[in-house]
Structure 1
Amino acid sequence: MDTYLQFIVLGLGLGAVYIGLTTGLVLVYRATGIINFAQGAMAMWGAYVFAQLRIDGTLVLPIGRITFGAKPVILVAALIGVLMSVLLGIVAHYLVFRPVRHAPVLAQVVVSVALMLTLQALVVIRFGPNSIVVDSLVPAGTVTLFGVEVSSRELIMTAVMIALAALVWAYLRFTRAGVATRAASENERGAMLMGFAPDRLAGVAMVLASAVGTVGVLLGSSLTGLNPANYTLLVVPALAVLLVARMESIGVVVAASLVLGAFQSVVNLLVSKPWWPQWAQSGVDQVIPFVVVMVILFLFGRRLPSRGTLQTVRLPDVHVPRIRPVPALVLVAAAVAVLALTQDTYRFGVTYSIILMLVALSYVIVTGYLGQISLAQTSFAGAAGFTLSKVTTNWDMPFPLAILFCSLVAALLGMIVALPAFRIRGAQLAIVTIAAALAIERFVFNNYALTPPSGNPIANPSLFGLNVGVREGSDLSRMAFSLTVLVVAVLVVLAFVRLASGTTGRMFLAVRANERAAASVGIDVRTAKVIGFGLSAFVAGMAGCLIGYSAGQLSAESFTVFVGLQILAVAYLGGITSFGGAVIAGIIGPLGIIYVVLHEVFDMGDYYALISGIALIATAILNPVGIAGETRRQIAWLRGKLRARPADPPPVPDRKVLSDVS
């Protein structure tokens, strides 16, 4: 029992980090109505600044750096780190969040995710991808608790974060600005009529959120070190706590954070026991937040508070596709020509762009047409890819049948993830799907009992006895494989066009526009959501299988949460409501042809995530219809200009002249 108490206390350190991040999430949501997926990344920046100051006395800025003569003392370095996060919060408020405060939830989620990707990429560029050690603000020691000697550092960290959370609660409860923030969260229009400035209140909330979150990460990183991926994704369990607190209660935030941190720590102890099943030893602590999210949403999904907003911007318009034989043949012929004229790395980039187009198309189905925000598409692709490894190596399942079977597995997983969409949508559904994606990545893809570290080989595909694999001898990107990928993509696109232009597409659009109105005319909304998630996961599964065939074997790095968010970024950037947008997303997507050119010619591969994140922020704010939508609009404008102007009508005689003539 003594060991359990020691691990519970150790878990309180993680719970203290959750308190800081979730308190920041509550502040931002109450002030702006936006769920800030970048909360962990913003806090992480200040912690990295602090750590670098303590390492060599260098203040690292987004552009440039300042070198001090000596390393600042630990408290001064911590204050500078918090100040840098606060300045980042102010910039993020005015340049990123303020322009989308009245935008649709999709644009708000996309902007928040884009900021997360941008900051994570910036941290990798400025500080490196590896973990670094962080000096502790709290001295190490032990105390006796219930007769057991436990670490005192975690207890002090917990006390500090509880005190900061109490100050935030007092701010919202007793100060004029805090009361105004609470009032604006209930009725923003009413708060404006009473003389409050919601933008100013949101700015103050962002400053407080940045400071509290950074202090939590500063304290927690001294225990674990700083890693760009881990601390960016700590926002996922914090989002689970946010839902437990119903997005408003600071007291529940504190209690739920500590319980979750302690429970995860105890689970990590239990998995080391000999009786614990071996297949469930990896990533089970990341499954817990997903289970918490699912339970909360199933029990209270329809009773979670919604913030009063002044939404004035519509979702991007959907351009219903139709099959045009001549343009389609020209597009396919152009793809074949490009594949024939390229070779090796560049041909592989073009082939991978076609595969990425299918992943982006899955986003078009579930988000562009159905209006459901899913952040788990690469998890569906990965599920199909890893299943492909099993069925081709263990069952010798042939090429076309293997892809169909594995895509059906992905579709089944997509239907399961769709269940919370029965009760929720918008940003809350985004929370569910990103929690599901992280749980699948850590519990399945990184689980050596299911996916061994030696690799997950995939047998080369063959069709009618012909080898259509990607490699043979010195040829690293065979034309036969590229053409096979193109044929599969053409068949999927034709099926998509047929569905999108038919009854299924109209059903999706009706649900996207207004679920209650759709139900009132006889549309089964739940069935529509299950079908939409299933179809999108099936398409993503097809892409995952092709990714597996293109690599010859799979690893978890192919289907991380960050890869999925990057593809969402380029899908929105290209235009998330059309097939044309999916094509553009494939071209500019990670490992696509544009990425390959940047890496081979300009050696800018490390800057790809940063560039795509900034471009996505600008697109969501300035051009919600994406590149494809804007191109279509410009073509329509040009056609209008080139169309012959009608002859001027004859002038109408003046009435006075007519009377004079008569």
Structure 2
Amino acid sequence: MQHSAFLLLGLGNGAVFGALALALVLTYRSSGVMNFASAAIALFSAYMYANLRQGDLLVPIPGLPRRIDVGDPMGMWPALIISLLLAMLLGLLLYLLVFRPLRSSPLVARATAALGISLAMTALMAERAGTVSVIVEPIFPMDLWQSGSLSISADRVYFALTILVLAVLLTLSFRFTRFGLATRAAAETERGAYVSGISPDRIAAYNWMLSSAVAGLAGILIAPIVPLQPIAYTLFIVPGLAAAIVARFEYVIVAVVAGLAIGALQSEAQYLVTLHDWLPSAGLPELVPLALILIVLLVRAKPLPSRGEIILQTLGRAHRPQYVYSTAAVATALAAVAIIVLDDRFRTGLIVSLIMAIIALSTVVVTGYAGQISLAQLTIAGVAGFLIGPITNSLHIPFPFAPLVAALFAAALGVAIGLPALRIRGLFVAVVTLAMAFAVEALWFRNTDFVSPSGEQIPKPEIFGWDLGIGQGIAYPRVTFGLLCLFVLVVVAIGVAMLRRSRLGSEMLAVRANERSAAAAGVSVIRVKILAFAIGAFIAGLGGAMLAYQQQTITSDSFAAMASLGLFATVYLAGATSIAGGILGGFLAASGLLFIITDELGLTGNWFTVISGILLIITVIFNPEGIVGPAQTSLARFRAGRGRPVGPKAGGENAPSAERTVELFGHNLGGSTDEVALRVGGLSVHYGGVQAVNNVDLALTKGSLVGLIGPNGAGKTTVMDAICGFANASGEVELEGRSLANLPPHKRIRAGLGRTFQAIELYDDLSVYENVKVGRTATAARTSGIRVGHDRGAVETILELLGIAEFSPRPVAELSQGQRQLVSIARALAGSPSVLLLDEPAGGLDSSESRWLGERLRPIVDSGVTILLVDHDMDLVLTICDTIHVLNFGEVIASGTPAQIRANSLVTQAYLGGEAKVNG
């Protein structure tokens, strides 16, 4: 019976989670925003209600009185109605001022703006209302219902029923009212809604008002049950997100029921702690939403996104660092002088900034380079920070090995955090890392089983008896420790710069831009993600160790999950895709140098967070690349204008010699033979009940150019996807006698396949040279690594072959459609494939450019490469192909030479439309 009692006791928190999940569903369906600010809106409404019940109106606007006397204390209903109206007004303002300008922005940008709102609003309420718990009079009856030995608190049940009824009413409203129909229509397609006379903009505004009222109601109803203080409400967002994920951010009732279940399970988990000594004394309830998120996302997820499911995350261009060592030397000298000349307080702020810059660079690696939105980097740093003491004192590992060992443990946690990212992507990675941050904080950092209530004592760093510590008393902070922190930062920054310039760095950016396309270039997406999380976590661990040395006694506050959110916000504000942005992010971090400066100006801690949150929102709207982004872009243009290379040297204008082409691509120098390069047997692909490809047989001989044509929807691209492993298929695929069955896409590419995509799918943040260089991954894997010089020479040769060498240093985003097509082909050729699959390579090219492309493809075929060509340019296909296969409704209806295909009546009827003829 006690288990039932605790399950029911959790209905109070569960109702909040359900209501917040409901609000998250509403905003996501109407405007595509994963609203991390929902809990902050609930906090705002709760404070408004609590103050109105006391006869005051809380004024959150800086510069005005904190409270306005409204006379006698208000009753429950007037206070509730006014608070909800204010919540709706807040929601409308947030949409009009922030999210309406971001409607066409990537999901990551919108979620980051919501994160900025959450940080700013939470800090603002803490500053205006204080952090002392506010007592709120009960709203629901506080009776205890007895059933045998089972006692049930009535207010929890009433609260849960209220949210359930609200969910049912909203579901009926969305189902049967014009507003609901319009909301569903706008969510399905904005363009279609406009055609139907529906304004998606107005619908989104109404839904923001509605979702804010729901979140506000949750905050008000929970206020009498849990302490009304900012920190308590921030803990609601992760369970709310978990419930919304269960509901697919779509189903209202499912979201509420999931929220109630999470609350009940958390209460039960807390009760189990009191029954079993072997369970951790803290943190078990926080594991409930984390476990639920992981189970649901991993079950639903796919290892790679399908065609049409590509997630574009525009985080800004990650510029290739130039003049690394000279820049590092100048910056080091300036920082060393500052450490020496600054007074104690500003030197402390500078030291903290240097340390936070180290941790911020881990975000540059994980998020800026690899595109994995990690909100747990400061928490990962905390792992190393809390381990420094035991490693030094218990394992007797001295400095400098102790922080390295601690960083390795942090890297292990980073890999564990990164494992879910192998199957999930985008904002869901952010949700998982956020949930993990809260779980680690509760399970370890705030658990007195592992950490003393007074904090963990950290021994000072020493080497050969030389004290490198920060000092104490009047000796605090010592210049020596500041120089040590500077040394670590410089080493890490140079390492990150070398990473960006390496092939692995290019592969990370390729995965960030397009996982499917990266796999088609031979990149192991799994390997890249794991390495990104491991390297980022190791860097964060080094920063965490240095922060522990700086603080000397560390507590959970040093590495709190909310502080980790704040650090992510400052790095994004500065520029998460560059080393300069990471370092600047450290200087913008709390307790850093800028924090000390603003404190001297009278802006205390909460105001600093408020300003940081507002600046983050402004940055997302007007300057997504962060503070340093425009400066780096201008610098690159300045160097280009002065004739300095901003990338590898471009090749000449003329095509390479036939001998060089043979050397680069030659697999069978004798040209076409009877030996089969690619054999496809009984290939079939099903999508649900739809048969996309049915029993397709193909045999491509070495050194042949084979066309695959058919009307739209015939299954041509699906055949290519199946051959490359991007579509689940039955049948056999053999490359030069080797079966490719059960191999993932990147291993098929490394085995000798090459692939372009109909949608091109380049990496817009990389230059032309770097895009093609990523394609060399397959060659490097087959040859156990290749020399950098040969790598560069091969890339330049391919660019010359396709006539795009002059564009080598330019970002592909600046190229025309036709030029992008050629870069896509160049990237596929860079892997030195034995069989090359080209999916509409002439798309975007005019007739003369198509003929020119055909002239470039023929020498490649003559060198021994086999090409399977899909294209709608019949002049190109019929002119250059040796053999042509025709698909219709997923089946091969004709095969033969171009002349035979021209004369085939079935092809004319199925593909060319009755009397249509092919130009000859």
Measured against aligned partners, the alpha-carbon deviations of 1:368-409 in whole angstroms (never above 9, x if no partner) come to 111111101011100110011211222232111111111111
For residue 454 of structure 1, give the secondary structure of its aligned residue in structure 2. coil
Contact 1:417–1:436 (CA under 8 A) maintained in structure 2: yes
- Among residues 127, 130, 134, which one is paired with 2:129 in the alignment? 127
Displacement of 1:60: 2.9
- Partner of residue 36, structure 2: 37
RMSD of aligned Cα (Å): 2.3
Counting only pairs closer than 5 Å after superposition, residues 138-157 of structure 1 correspond to structure 2 as: 138-145=140-147, 148-157=150-159
Displacement of 1:147: 7.4
Measured against aligned partners, the alpha-carbon deviations of 1:418-460 in whole angstroms (never above 9, x if no partner) come to 1111111111111111001111111110000011112201110
- Partner of residue 53, structure 2: 54
Displacement of 1:130: 2.1
- Partner of residue 647, structure 1: none
Q: Distance in 2 between matches of 1:466 and 1:56?
A: 63
More helix, by proportion? 1
Measured against aligned partners, the alpha-carbon deviations of 1:292-329 in whole angstroms (never above 9, x if no partner) come to 111111111349999x9999994311101134333221
- Partner of residue 620, structure 1: 620
- Partner of residue 587, structure 2: 587
Comparing 538-547 with 187-196, which one deviates more in the overlay? Answer: 187-196
Q: Distance in 2 between matches of 1:454 and 1:473?
A: 20
Contact 2:362–2:377 (CA under 8 A) maintained in structure 1: yes
Contact 2:305–2:516 (CA under 8 A) maintained in structure 1: no
Higher relative contact order (CA 8 A, sep 6+): 1
Displacement of 1:56: 4.2
For residue 132 of structure 2, give the secondary structure of its aligned residue in structure 1. coil
- Partner of residue 19, structure 1: 18
Counting only pairs closer than 5 Å after superposition, residues 448-463 of structure 1 correspond to structure 2 as: 448-463=448-463
Q: Distance in 2 between matches of 1:74 and 1:276?
A: 44
TM-score w.r.t. length of structure 2: 0.67
Comparing 629-638 with 604-613, which one deviates more in the overlay? Answer: 629-638
- Partner of residue 220, structure 1: 222
Displacement of 1:554: 0.9
Contact 1:26–1:242 (CA under 8 A) maintained in structure 2: yes
Q: Per the alignment, do residues 473 and 161 of structure 1 end up closer, same or farther by CA in structure 2, a change over 3 Å counting?
A: closer
Displacement of 1:15: 1.3
Q: Per the alignment, do residues 312 and 261 of structure 1 end up closer, same or farther by CA in structure 2, a change over 3 Å counting?
A: closer
Counting only pairs closer than 5 Å after superposition, residues 622-637 of structure 1 correspond to structure 2 as: 622-635=622-635
Q: Per the alignment, do residues 303 and 168 of structure 1 end up closer, same or farther by CA in structure 2, a change over 3 Å counting?
A: farther
Displacement of 1:529: 0.4
Displacement of 1:96: 1.5
Displacement of 1:4: 2.5
Counting only pairs closer than 5 Å after superposition, residues 407-418 of structure 1 correspond to structure 2 as: 407-418=407-418
- Partner of residue 385, structure 1: 385
Displacement of 1:120: 0.4
Comparing 347-356 with 472-481, which one deviates more in the overlay? Answer: 472-481
1:85 matches 2:84 = no
Contact 1:374–1:433 (CA under 8 A) maintained in structure 2: yes
Q: Distance in 2 between matches of 1:102 and 1:554?
A: 43
- Partner of residue 484, structure 2: 484
1:247 matches 2:249 = yes
- Partner of residue 428, structure 1: 428
- Partner of residue 610, structure 2: 610
1:164 matches 2:144 = no
Contact 1:240–1:290 (CA under 8 A) maintained in structure 2: yes
- Partner of residue 566, structure 2: 566
For residue 68 of structure 2, give the secondary structure of its aligned residue in structure 1. strand
TM-score w.r.t. length of structure 1: 0.93
Return the index of the structure with the highest Cα Rg: 2
Comparing 597-606 with 27-36, which one deviates more in the overlay? Answer: 597-606
- In the alignment, residue 331 of structure 1 is paired with which amino acid? A
- Partner of residue 277, structure 1: 278
- In the alignment, residue 522 of structure 1 is paired with which amino acid? G
Contact 1:375–1:564 (CA under 8 A) maintained in structure 2: yes
Q: Per the alignment, do residues 225 and 305 of structure 1 end up closer, same or farther by CA in structure 2, a change over 3 Å counting?
A: farther
Contact 2:313–2:513 (CA under 8 A) maintained in structure 1: no
- Partner of residue 657, structure 1: none
Identity %: 37
Q: Per the alignment, do residues 146 and 179 of structure 1 end up closer, same or farther by CA in structure 2, a change over 3 Å counting?
A: farther
Q: Distance in 2 between matches of 1:129 and 1:309?
A: 44
- In the alignment, residue 188 of structure 2 is paired with which amino acid? E
- Partner of residue 364, structure 1: 364
- Partner of residue 652, structure 1: none
Q: Distance in 1 between matches of 2:164 and 2:87?
A: 20
Q: Distance in 1 between matches of 2:163 and 2:520?
A: 49
Contact 2:384–2:545 (CA under 8 A) maintained in structure 1: yes
Q: Distance in 1 between matches of 2:419 and 2:189?
A: 31
Q: Structure 1: any 5+ residue segments left out of the alignment?
A: 644-662
- Partner of residue 549, structure 2: 549
Measured against aligned partners, the alpha-carbon deviations of 1:233-271 in whole angstroms (never above 9, x if no partner) come to 301101011111122112212221221111111122221
Contact 2:305–2:515 (CA under 8 A) maintained in structure 1: no
Q: Distance in 2 between matches of 1:109 and 1:218?
A: 25
Q: Distance in 2 between matches of 1:119 and 1:603?
A: 16
- In the alignment, residue 13 of structure 1 is paired with which amino acid? G
Contact 1:59–1:67 (CA under 8 A) maintained in structure 2: no
- Partner of residue 325, structure 1: 325
Off by >6 Å, runs of 4+ in structure 1: 303-306, 308-313, 637-643
Counting only pairs closer than 5 Å after superposition, residues 529-540 of structure 1 correspond to structure 2 as: 529-540=529-540
Measured against aligned partners, the alpha-carbon deviations of 1:545-574 in whole angstroms (never above 9, x if no partner) come to 000000112100001112111111111111
- Partner of residue 266, structure 1: 268
Displacement of 1:149: 3.9
- In the alignment, residue 338 of structure 1 is paired with which amino acid? A
Comparing 158-167 with 610-619, which one deviates more in the overlay? Answer: 158-167
Displacement of 1:220: 1.3
- Partner of residue 109, structure 1: 111
Q: Distance in 1 between matches of 2:513 and 2:220?
A: 44
Contact 1:102–1:313 (CA under 8 A) maintained in structure 2: no
Q: Structure 2: any 5+ residue segments left out of the alignment?
A: 644-920
Q: Distance in 1 between matches of 2:219 and 2:108?
A: 28
Measured against aligned partners, the alpha-carbon deviations of 1:509-566 in whole angstroms (never above 9, x if no partner) come to 1101110000011100011000001111111111100000001121000011121111
Measured against aligned partners, the alpha-carbon deviations of 1:205-254 in whole angstroms (never above 9, x if no partner) come to 11111111211221112111212012123011010111111221122122
For residue 425 of structure 1, give the secondary structure of its aligned residue in structure 2. coil
Contact 1:246–1:304 (CA under 8 A) maintained in structure 2: no
- Among residues 66, 85, 97, which one is paired with 2:68 in the alignment? 66
Displacement of 1:642: 9.2
- In the alignment, residue 116 of structure 1 is paired with which amino acid? S
Contact 1:374–1:430 (CA under 8 A) maintained in structure 2: yes
Measured against aligned partners, the alpha-carbon deviations of 1:140-189 in whole angstroms (never above 9, x if no partner) come to 11334577442211111111111111121112211222122223223233
Measured against aligned partners, the alpha-carbon deviations of 1:608-661 in whole angstroms (never above 9, x if no partner) come to 000000000000100011111122234456778999xxxxxxxxxxxxxxxxxx
More strand, by proportion? 2
- In the alignment, residue 52 of structure 1 is paired with which amino acid? N
Contact 1:20–1:217 (CA under 8 A) maintained in structure 2: no
- In the alignment, residue 8 of structure 2 is paired with which amino acid? V
Q: Per the alignment, do residues 582 and 315 of structure 1 end up closer, same or farther by CA in structure 2, a change over 3 Å counting?
A: closer
Measured against aligned partners, the alpha-carbon deviations of 1:58-82 in whole angstroms (never above 9, x if no partner) come to 3434343421121111211111111
Q: Per the alignment, do residues 333 and 161 of structure 1 end up closer, same or farther by CA in structure 2, a change over 3 Å counting?
A: same
1:188 matches 2:190 = yes
Contact 2:339–2:482 (CA under 8 A) maintained in structure 1: yes
Contact 1:393–1:458 (CA under 8 A) maintained in structure 2: no
Contact 2:320–2:501 (CA under 8 A) maintained in structure 1: yes
Q: Per the alignment, do residues 449 and 149 of structure 1 end up closer, same or farther by CA in structure 2, a change over 3 Å counting?
A: closer
Displacement of 1:579: 0.6
